[in-house]
Structure 1
Amino acid sequence: MADEIKLPIQLIEIESDFIGQRIDNFLIARLRGVPKSVIYRVLRKGEVRVNKKRIKPEYKLQENDVVRVPPLTVAAEPDAVSVKLSLVQQLEQHILYEDADLIVLNKPSGMAVHGGSGLQFGVIEALRALRPQAKSLELVHRLDRDTSGCLLIAKKRSALTALHAQLRDKTVEKKYWALVAGDWDNKVRKVTDALRKNTLQSGERVVKVDEVGGKPSETRFRILQRYQQGTLVEAFPVTGRTHQIRVHTACKGHPIACDDKYGDNHFSQQMQQLGLQRLFLHAKILSFVHPGTQTTIRIEAPLDQQLADALSKLTRK
């Protein structure tokens, strides 16, 4: 049984950053460790009050509202992430851009974006440890654990909401570099195979092309450089399905180098002999409208040394 902590009654005054947020979503984010079922139960029973009145889960918060949260039992927080860990300290050097609203990080390959599945912490937990004064740090989007490159983190709820709206409207531009097997066909500039995600009993996620039961998916491709051993392509995912670029390249016969899930063993072994020990998929360019200044921000993440070294050892056509 996990350790538990009893929280006393809380009175929370709503600041401007939370205006318009639903009370249920506010409490779910605020009360980490409290099951959603418990939050909805206390809302339904009227134990959560706003300005001393009962409210419904869809109530939208107003500035200076006072929210009364009843006593609750929560799971104890895991041990805090130590800022002394070298992996955490190194993240400072990976920050490409930061201001009062957001952070853009060049996420290292091999680091998950958040803890879970046996991981004590990921990028977001590490950043919260490095920026304890930033109370509202949240991931705007995700990258696979083995993918490196541009990762966007909001420092305010207002920034998170605005950036999520841009993602829904498909106005955020994310371009990835991938080294793939074979000679990419010039005519293949767009892949639209529908994708279906399966979760195995082990918890592992596997995505397959499924034109009947899959979700519509689109990735656009551009050839950057041809090599004797493969092709460096730029991939622009129009939709954001799990493992989308990895499956779309593989289904066209051009799997990504060192992809342990959808890759080609022979090609991956060739690349490993050149020193490549990680998936060659990198979120190279991120472009979006800044939620505060309303100007377009374009961030480019340099390749890590391992990817750059691998390319330097290939023979250009």
Structure 2
Amino acid sequence: MTEQKTQVRFIDIDDDIAGQRIDNFLRNQLKNVPKSMIYRVLRKGEVRVNKKRIKPEYKLQAGDVVRVPPIRLPERDEKAAPSTKLDKVAALEHCIIYEDDHLLVLNKPSGTAVHGGSGLQFGAIEAMRALRPKARFLELVHRIDRDTSGILLIAKKRSALRHLQAQFREKTVRKDYYALVMGKWPTKQRKVTAPLLKNEVNSIVRVNSKGKPSETRFKVLESFAEATLVQASPVTGRTHQIRVHAQYMGHPLAWDDRYGDPRFDAYTKSFGLDRLFLHAATICFRHPNKDESMTLNAPMEPKLERALEGLRAKTA
């Protein structure tokens, strides 16, 4: 098997990269290099910062000079059939709903994870890095579940990442989701504050008095014969929060494989639905550079719209 060897590089660290861990920085710089190899060159001292050895947890500072060593990689077989995943990566280019020098906003499709791992070769962030190979910095600002579609913020500068994440911590970001729930959601039930506890073994979340304080605000958008379209606005950002709060109220989401009801899935299947009906539709925040208020909207995919049309026809 033939090999190819990268060239040694010296990279100057500026304010936008400052604060990032060296291992994460290298993973971004060496996109096709296995993670195990990156940690190997770090342990062997082949990566130097200001001519000194450093540990993987070292946080870069403005003015640092990083030596990225040459790395040998097996040469790819050019005759091999292209991966079908390349088509999925390319398709995400059409899912970008906003982009400038500081920020990229994606209308993430259902079924696409936000990042790779756990048997997944790529996620939304890896796809964006592949589509923007010249971008020096691309990092997730927040996360949404793999089966949830809709708005995902990606920072293109470290300063933007810090600014946006601070807004999330201070709960000044407003996110509105569309969710299709089973049965008739009571119009007077506008807030659920049940505490949530996550099982670290299987990641199942349950309402539990020992859990973390959690709040979701609900608003009925449209009522159908056996379902309700609600707007769910999480105040806190717990794992599976909307899904568990809806289940706790006795109105699980359509096609929720963890907290749903198979009877509701079977009912909505007749309207062409075969995915979790949870869509991050709107987000309001302050632009990390202009400090102006921004509101972005992400349209639902046609499958969800068609399911709603079928429900309307059934209700009429």
TM-score (norm 2): 0.83
Deviates further, 256-265 or 6-15: 6-15
The question of 1:218 aligning with 2:219 is answered no
- Alignment match of 2:271 (pick from 247, 269, 274): 274
Q: How far does residue 26 in structure 1 lie from its aligned partner after superposition?
A: 3.9
- Alignment match of 1:207 (pick from 205, 208, 219): 205
Corresponding position of 1:148: 149
Q: How far does residue 50 in structure 1 lie from its aligned partner after superposition?
A: 5.3
AA at the equivalent of 1:266:
R
| Inter-partner Cα distance in structure 2 for 1:15 and 1:82 | 36
Q: SS at the partner of 1:268? A: helix
RMSD over equivalenced CA pairs, Å? 3.2
Q: SS at the partner of 1:85? A: helix
The question of 1:187 aligning with 2:188 is answered yes
Contact in 1 for aligned 2:112/2:147 (Cα 8 Å): yes
Corresponding position of 2:132: 131
Change in Cα spacing, 1:146 to 1:50, as seen in structure 2 (3 Å) is closer
Corresponding position of 2:123: 122
User: CA deviation digits over 1:73-101, x for unaligned, max 9?
Assistant: 9999x99x979822112111111111111
Q: How far does residue 60 in structure 1 lie from its aligned partner after superposition?
A: 6.5
Q: How far does residue 17 in structure 1 lie from its aligned partner after superposition?
A: 1.5
Contact in 2 for aligned 1:83/1:130 (Cα 8 Å): no
Q: How far does residue 55 in structure 1 lie from its aligned partner after superposition?
A: 8.5
Q: How far does residue 144 in structure 1 lie from its aligned partner after superposition?
A: 0.7
Q: How far does residue 198 in structure 1 lie from its aligned partner after superposition?
A: 1.2
| Inter-partner Cα distance in structure 2 for 1:26 and 1:272 | 48
Q: How far does residue 62 in structure 1 lie from its aligned partner after superposition?
A: 2.8
Corresponding position of 1:306: 303
Corresponding position of 1:110: 111
Contact in 2 for aligned 1:27/1:39 (Cα 8 Å): no
Contact in 1 for aligned 2:196/2:212 (Cα 8 Å): yes
Corresponding position of 1:30: 26
- Alignment match of 1:244 (pick from 209, 234, 241): 241
Contact in 2 for aligned 1:137/1:154 (Cα 8 Å): yes
Change in Cα spacing, 1:231 to 1:39, as seen in structure 2 (3 Å) is farther
| Inter-partner Cα distance in structure 1 for 2:118 and 2:59 | 34
Gaps of 5+ in 1: none
Change in Cα spacing, 1:154 to 1:59, as seen in structure 2 (3 Å) is closer
AA at the equivalent of 1:152:
L
Contact in 2 for aligned 1:34/1:73 (Cα 8 Å): no
Change in Cα spacing, 1:53 to 1:137, as seen in structure 2 (3 Å) is closer
AA at the equivalent of 1:305:
P
AA at the equivalent of 1:254:
H
Paired residues for 1:53-92 under 5 Å: 61-63=61-63, 65-67=64-66, 85-92=86-93
Change in Cα spacing, 1:111 to 1:54, as seen in structure 2 (3 Å) is closer
Change in Cα spacing, 1:84 to 1:58, as seen in structure 2 (3 Å) is closer
Q: Percent identity?
A: 53
Contact in 1 for aligned 2:141/2:161 (Cα 8 Å): yes
Contact in 1 for aligned 2:22/2:60 (Cα 8 Å): no
| Inter-partner Cα distance in structure 2 for 1:35 and 1:253 | 49
AA at the equivalent of 2:139:
E
Corresponding position of 1:253: 250
| Inter-partner Cα distance in structure 2 for 1:124 and 1:208 | 29
